[in-house]
């Protein structure tokens, strides 16, 4: 008979061994940050934000993988998933358990995004002497776009930060009984400590440790799950019978949750948003010598693919384990995304310390993205906001200290925002709106800049505004549809015939789809478009409107673009900079002027 998740945790107990392992694993991140803070030079902007631009490419690629797995799952999973789904391993494994292996096609998306990044974006950004990616917008267009997108990014990061710490803290609190705010505050202070001291080097090497632990844990769970199920062939057989291996669904309906087209179009653009134009990702390209960037892109694409396959395999093993006795269907767990914690406690009841290791790995994933966002956010504020209010002389005197203070400030701010998450959930809604409405917009603006020589500031500004307005309406209405039950994605078949229990009441509710409303207005198809398409639609709106307005308003003068601001593929189409006067070229930094 399947016990509840809470009962299993209470039975196993969170012993002193679990606490010891948890503390040791988390302490390693602090030690790494402390080491780089004490023994690495952290006096300049390049030292703190870019590690002196001589970091190890393999370590950076592992750090990128850890971050990308986390953020991608935040994008692919619907907003009505609970907090646990924001964790990469939990989210991806649960996705496969419920909906099948189609997410493996996202490895194609990362390959396409990596190629686009290598050929189109990196050649531009890596040749400009920038502290933040937003400086490019002022060089290419004007200061208005730089300020607009920078403020949107700061607001988005400020909303994401508390969620990164809230989700693992909630899990820890449920497993141990420790007060949610206490553990969230302590872990936030830990992360702020090693991030502020260690800079980007401390963040990157902590990522390496955390991802290594997580991957080791996943491999161990896969092996134990296969042994528990019987064999690899039995896992494959059960997954096939349960339709979990059906990868290719060519349904062109844009309201379908996941299909080949949502992955090819939606997920590819989402990958490009993250890898090509996301401030915290582009920052990583500045941490190594330029000649090593191709090696970095190839390595993190490979590591990411392997990590994705492992997470997918874990989901298949979990399904095979509970092939004929789904825990949620009989009420053993309350939410579908608790299936992985249940799976772990089911397999490791006799292994002391495994619960502590699991929670440490769970926290590690969130600490990874949290520390990165803190580091990048401090750099954005330093380069794009602080100059408005602090003299240049003071900025040059102690740049590293100023950025460390901002790390502390945003860390403390995120602790305060956790109260909003618990009491009102308003930050969740704000983050969902901002990311869905603006992620594609930012990518579209940067794409206009690097790919279209005739794109001008009028076109880019109007394209960005049109995109934000359109996607704002779509995302808000989609969120309302989800909350009111107008959008409901039923999982693939789940069975309970193998359970020796008669508690089946939940099963009927789980497999019965929520009826669609009869009102034509309430079921408008555009508001039911798959969340996978949000950033794709936002990017396309920005590019199409921006290109049309730019073409309609183009003049001979505003076509004078410095070649270094365009990707090499289209540079031959731009007007040579020597033919224009400086005032025709627009704002541009000294590196580009004299490059």
pLDDT in tens, 462-501: 999 999 889 888 887 877 777 777 776 677 788 888 886 5
Residues 6+ apart with CB under 8 A from 77: 85, 86, 91, 95
Q: Burial letters for 28-45: b for 16+ Cβ neighbours within 10 Å, e otherwise?
A: bbbebbbbbbeebebeeb
Can you give the C-alpha Rg of the chain in angstroms?
24
| pLDDT exceeds 70 at position 578 | no
The burial class, CB within 10 Å (0-12 / 13-18 / 19+), for 124 is buried
For 40, which DSSP code? Answer: S
Task: Give the pLDDT of residue 207.
Answer: 79
* Beta-carbon count within 10 A of 458 CB: 17
> pLDDT digit string (tens) for 19-64?
888 888 888 877 877 777 666 666 666 666 776 777 888 888 887 7
The burial class, CB within 10 Å (0-12 / 13-18 / 19+), for 147 is middle
Mean pLDDT throughout 320-339?
A: 82
> pLDDT digit string (tens) for 82-137?
333 334 566 678 888 888 888 788 888 888 988 999 899 998 988 887 878 888 99
Residues 6+ apart with CB under 8 A from 94: 85, 315, 336, 337, 339, 340
Nearest-CA neighbor of 231 among 320, 340, 351? 320
Q: Which of 182-186, 355-359, 442-446 has the lowest mean pLDDT?
A: 355-359
| pLDDT exceeds 70 at position 574 | no
The most confident of 144-153, 424-433, 500-509, 567-576, by mean pLDDT: 144-153
Task: Give the pLDDT of residue 497.
Answer: 81
| pLDDT exceeds 70 at position 575 | no
Mean pLDDT throughout 289-318?
A: 86
Task: Give the pLDDT of residue 435.
Answer: 67
Question: Please, what is the angle between helix 268-276 and helix 106-116, to 10°?
Answer: 40
Task: Give the pLDDT of residue 539.
Answer: 93
Task: Give the pLDDT of residue 136.
Answer: 92
Q: Is pLDDT larger for residue 193 or for residue 7? A: 193
- What is the distance between the alpha carbons of residues 211 and 209, in angstroms, rounded to a whole number? 6
User: Residue 77 in 3-state DSSP?
Assistant: coil
Band the pLDDT of 579: cuts 50, 70, 90: very low
Task: Give the pLDDT of residue 4.
Answer: 42
> pLDDT digit string (tens) for 190-232?
888 877 777 777 778 877 887 788 788 888 889 999 999 989 9
> pLDDT digit string (tens) for 157-171?
887 788 778 777 877
- What is the distance between the alpha carbons of residues 21 and 429, in angstroms, rounded to a whole number? 35
Band the pLDDT of 396: cuts 50, 70, 90: low
Mean pLDDT throughout 406-432?
A: 69
Q: Is pLDDT larger for residue 534 or for residue 418? A: 534
Task: Give the pLDDT of residue 577.
Answer: 52
Band the pLDDT of 449: cuts 50, 70, 90: very high
Task: Return the H-helix or E-strand segment holding 421.
Answer: helix 399-423
Task: Give the pLDDT of residue 488.
Answer: 67
- What is the distance between the alpha carbons of residues 554 and 185, in angstroms, rounded to a whole number? 53
E strand map for 75-141? none
Mean pLDDT throughout 531-543?
A: 89
Task: Give the pLDDT of residue 90.
Answer: 64
**284 contacts 48 by C-beta, under 8 angstroms:** no
Task: Give the pLDDT of residue 518.
Answer: 41
Alpha helices in 40-100 (DSSP H): 45-50, 57-76, 88-99
| C-alpha angle 321-327-329 in degrees, rounded to nearest 5 | 125
- What is the distance between the alpha carbons of residues 390 and 272, in angstroms, rounded to a whole number? 35
- What is the distance between the alpha carbons of residues 407 and 520, in angstroms, rounded to a whole number? 49
> pLDDT digit string (tens) for 347-380?
887 788 887 887 887 777 677 778 878 888 888 8
Mean pLDDT of the chain: 76
The burial class, CB within 10 Å (0-12 / 13-18 / 19+), for 576 is exposed
At 468, give phi and psi (nearest 5°).
-60, -45
**173 contacts 187 by C-beta, under 8 angstroms:** no
For 444, which DSSP code? Answer: H
Mean pLDDT throughout 414-436?
A: 62
- What is the distance between the alpha carbons of residues 497 and 501, in angstroms, rounded to a whole number? 9
Band the pLDDT of 177: cuts 50, 70, 90: confident
- What is the distance between the alpha carbons of residues 549 and 50, in angstroms, rounded to a whole number? 37
| pLDDT exceeds 80 at position 570 | yes
DSSP readout, 366-419? HHHHHHHHHHHHHHHHHHHTHHHHS-HHHHHH-HHHHHHHHHHHHHHHHHHHHH
Distances (CA, A) of 106 to 73, 261, 307, 568: 11, 11, 12, 27
Question: Please, what is the angle between helix 5-12 and helix 339-347, to 10°?
Answer: 40
| pLDDT exceeds 60 at position 274 | yes
| pLDDT exceeds 60 at position 593 | no
- What is the distance between the alpha carbons of residues 228 and 344, in angstroms, rounded to a whole number? 12
Mean pLDDT throughout 128-156?
A: 86
**84 contacts 336 by C-beta, under 8 angstroms:** no
| pLDDT exceeds 70 at position 555 | yes
For 515, which DSSP code? Answer: P
* Beta-carbon count within 10 A of 223 CB: 11
| pLDDT exceeds 50 at position 566 | yes
At 329, give phi and psi (nearest 5°).
-65, -30
Task: Give the pLDDT of residue 13.
Answer: 59
Task: Give the pLDDT of residue 224.
Answer: 92
Task: Give the pLDDT of residue 236.
Answer: 92
Mean pLDDT throughout 533-561?
A: 85
Distances (CA, A) of 200 to 60, 330, 333, 559: 10, 47, 39, 38
Nearest-CA neighbor of 96 among 305, 312, 336? 312
Q: Is pLDDT larger for residue 72 or for residue 416? A: 416
Q: Is pLDDT larger for residue 534 or for residue 70? A: 534
Mean pLDDT throughout 528-532?
A: 80
| pLDDT exceeds 70 at position 526 | yes
Task: Give the pLDDT of residue 510.
Answer: 40
Mean pLDDT throughout 384-398?
A: 70
């Amino acid at each position: 008979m399947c016990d509840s998740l809470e009962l299993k945790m209470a039975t196993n107990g969170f012993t002193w061994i679990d606490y010891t392992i948890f503390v040791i694993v988390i302490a390693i991140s602090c030690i790494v940050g402390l080491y780089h803070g004490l023994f690495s030079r952290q006096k300049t902007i390049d030292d703190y934000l870019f590690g002196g631009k001589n970091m190890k490419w393999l370590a950076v690629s592992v750090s990128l993988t850890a971050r990308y797995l986390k953020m991608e799952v935040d994008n692919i999973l619907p907003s009505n998933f609970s907090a646990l789904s924001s964790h990469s391993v939990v989210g991806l494994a649960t996705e496969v358990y419920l909906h099948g292996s189609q997410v493996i096609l996202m490895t194609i998306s990362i390959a396409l995004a990596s190629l686009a990044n290598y050929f189109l974006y990196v050649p531009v950004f890596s040749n400009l002497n920038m502290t933040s990616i937003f400086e490019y917008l002022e060089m290419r267009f004007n200061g208005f776009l730089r300020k607009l997108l920078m403020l949107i990014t700061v607001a988005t990061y400020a909303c994401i930060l508390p969620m990164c710490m809230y989700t693992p803290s909630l899990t820890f609190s449920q497993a141990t009984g420790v007060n949610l705010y206490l553990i969230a505050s302590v872990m936030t202070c830990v992360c702020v400590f090693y991030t502020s001291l260690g800079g980007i080097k401390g963040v990157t090497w902590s990522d390496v440790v955390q991802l290594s632990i997580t991957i080791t844990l996943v491999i161990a769970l896969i092996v134990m799950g296969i042994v528990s199920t019987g064999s690899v062939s039995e896992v494959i057989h059960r997954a096939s019978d349960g339709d979990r291996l059906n990868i290719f669904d060519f349904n062109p309906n844009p309201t379908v949750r996941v299909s080949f087209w949502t992955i090819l179009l939606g997920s590819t653009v989402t990958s490009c948003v993250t890898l090509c134009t996301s401030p915290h990702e582009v920052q990583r390209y500045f941490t190594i010598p330029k000649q090593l960037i191709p090696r970095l892109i190839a390595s993190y694409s490979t590591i990411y693919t392997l990590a994705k396959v492992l997470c997918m395999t874990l989901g298949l093993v979990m399904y095979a384990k509970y092939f004929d006795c789904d825990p949620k269907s009989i009420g053993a767990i309350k939410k579908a995304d608790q299936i992985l914690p249940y799976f772990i406690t089911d397999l490791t009841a006799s292994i002391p310390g495994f619960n502590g290791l699991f929670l440490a790995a769970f926290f590690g994933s969130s600490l990874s993205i949290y520390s990165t966002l803190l580091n990048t956010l401090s750099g954005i504020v330093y380069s794009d906001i602080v100059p408005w209010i602090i003299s240049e002389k003071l900025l040059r005197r102690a740049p590293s200290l100023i950025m460390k203070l901002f790390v502390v400030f945003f860390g403390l701010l995120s602790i305060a925002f956790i109260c909003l998450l618990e009491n009102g959930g308003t930050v969740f809604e704000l983050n969902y709106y901002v990311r869905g409405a603006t992620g594609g917009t930012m990518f579209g603006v940067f794409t206009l800049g690097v790919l279209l020589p005739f794109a001008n500031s009028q076109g880019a500004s109007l394209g960005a505004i049109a995109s934000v307005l359109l996607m704002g309406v779509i995302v808000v209405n989609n969120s309302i549809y989800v909350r009111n039950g107008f959008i409901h994605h039923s999982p693939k078949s789940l069975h309970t015939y193998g359970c020796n229990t008669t508690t089946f009441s939940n099963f009927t509710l789980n497999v019965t789809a929520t009826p669609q409303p009869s009102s034509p207005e309430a079921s408008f198809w555009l508001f039911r478009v798959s969340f996978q398409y949000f950033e794709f639609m936002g990017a396309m709106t920005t590019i199409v409107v921006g290109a049309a307005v730019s073409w309609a308003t183009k003049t001979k003068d505003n076509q004078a673009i410095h070649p270094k601001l365009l990707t090499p593929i289209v540079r031959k189409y731009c007007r040579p900079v020597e033919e224009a006067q400086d005032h025709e070229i627009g704002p541009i930094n000294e590196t580009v002027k004299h490059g």
